[in-house]
Amino acid sequence: MARVKRAVNAKKNHRKVLKLAKGYYAGKSKLFRTANETVIRALRNAYVGRRLKKRDFRKLWIARINAAARLNGMTYSTFMNGLKRAGIEINRKMLSEIAIHDPQGFANLIAQAKSVREA
């Protein structure tokens, strides 16, 4: 069986990893083995972070909506229930933007949610 020499492929792999490790401190950007460990960890954390970001933003939007709803004398859960019963379908991101930039419009939504809840 023929001998397999991996020089070209290994060099390519090392170069790819070291390019990803550019800017890391000390040996983590210069030595392949430590750079490889660091890059693997960094890529894993980036993958996890992309999923956590979605949760974090949803939590932020809910906190903003809750704060604005409480200023208008309503809790978040009753407000969302009222909107659902009124047939108003606005996502939480847009509701938080309305709460921040258009308090009067948000107050109108609160009024609609209250009217449906009382009826």
Top CATH class of 7-118 equals mainly alpha
Q: How far apart are CA 40 and CA 2, in angstroms?
A: 33
User: Which tokens is 100 given?
Assistant: 């921040």
pLDDT tens digits for range 73-88: 999 999 999 999 999 9
pLDDT tens digits for range 50-72: 999 999 999 999 999 999 999 99
The CA–CA distances, whole Å, from 53 to 3, 45, 57, 66, 90 equal: 48, 12, 6, 20, 21
- Provide CB contacts within 8 A for 15, sequence distance 6+: none
User: Which tokens is 41 given?
Assistant: 């960890």
- Provide CB contacts within 8 A for 106, sequence distance 6+: 68, 72, 95, 98, 99
Q: Residue ranges per domain, the chain? A: 7-118
